[in-house]
Amino acid sequence: MAERARRKVGVLISGRGSNMAALVEAARAADCPFEIAIVASDKPDAAGLAWASEQGIATFAQSPKGMPKAEYEARIDAALRSAGVELIALAGYMRLLSPAFVDRWGGRIVNIHPSLLPKYKGLDTHARAIAAGDAVAGCSVHLVTAELDAGTVLGQAEVTIEPGDTAEALAARVLVEEHRLYPRILAEFVRTMTDDPLARVRSLALGLPETSESNEDGQPSFTVADTPFARMTGDSALKVRSDDGWQTLSLAGDIDWTLVGDAIARGWELTAPPALLEAGGR
């Protein structure tokens, strides 16, 4: 059987990059479905950049200081694209991506977060879990949407909180699990996206704000505000709401995923209530 090309992943980091290093190590395995094409950072002195460079991986640094966010993100975007990146993995990247950036990479950005989402979005997750008296903490790998730490969870690992635990001690134990979880879930995600068009449609549709999946006559259907904007018909076609009503896209053979992603996003736009569009939407 012809060997399938590995999916090119771009990793964004802001600091030491231990999760990025775990992805790099995992990608050394012959059967790993992804390779790390580039490591990019908003912090030119991020320790992880130097490490990646020593490993022979392309790196890119761009400080956002002194420029509009759109300009900063356009530079990151251009670096990722010129490295042939198909999927972005955030690994301790401490900036919120703009809705426009998330939209451009629709359904193809994943992140690791040090809590059992939906609990403890944002910062200080371990201290908050301890203060709340939780018995377990952990980490989550999730799809990135424009809303902070809110996209579909792809996988989680739990870590017991011990009596007298400190945030630092707990963080260290969770980090060990992060390094196991992230490569495993990223590999699963890449395999599913490669082998299963429905999985890719699902990640594109559910990557848009306030969407959910339901079942209509045995077929997956994607809704926003309880109104369908895309649904599968048979194994290899997708119906998407369009300017003229509904259009049918083939999901057989070579699929133009940029076109499918744009059609799904347009279907969402035509269906989402005005308040959602005004709030920034996609």
Write out the residues near ligand GAR by the rule CB under 6 A. Answer: 13, 15-19, 91-92, 112-114, 139, 175, 178
**Least distance to ligand GAR, CB of residue 211, Å:** 22
For residue 112, give the nearest of 72, 77, 156, 68 by alpha carbon. 156
The residue with its CB nearest to ligand GAR is 92
The Cα 198–Cα 100 span in angstroms is 24
DSSP string of 227-280, one letter each residue: EEEEEE-SSSEEEEEETTEEEEEE-SSS--HHHHHHHHHHHHHHHS-HHHHHTT
DSSP 159: E
**Least distance to ligand GAR, CB of residue 50, Å:** 13
Residue 28 neighbours by CB distance under 10 Å: 10
**Least distance to ligand GAR, CB of residue 171, Å:** 7
Q: Which is nearer to ligand GAR, 84 or 122 (CB)?
A: 122
Q: Which is nearer to ligand GAR, 92 or 209 (CB)?
A: 92
Q: Which is nearer to ligand GAR, 90 or 264 (CB)?
A: 90
Q: Which is nearer to ligand GAR, 15 or 107 (CB)?
A: 15
**Least distance to ligand GAR, CB of residue 17, Å:** 5
* Of 113, 126, 142, 179, catalytic: 113
Which positions ≥6 away from 253 have C-beta within 8 Å?
A: none
Given a contact cutoff of 8 angstroms between Cβ atoms, the answer to whether 267 and 253 are in contact is no
The Cα 231–Cα 214 span in angstroms is 9
SS3 281: coil
Q: Which is nearer to ligand GAR, 167 or 199 (CB)?
A: 167
**Least distance to ligand GAR, CB of residue 114, Å:** 4
Rg (CA), the chain: 19
Concerning whether 113 is annotated as a catalytic residue, the answer is: yes
Enzyme catalytic residues: 113
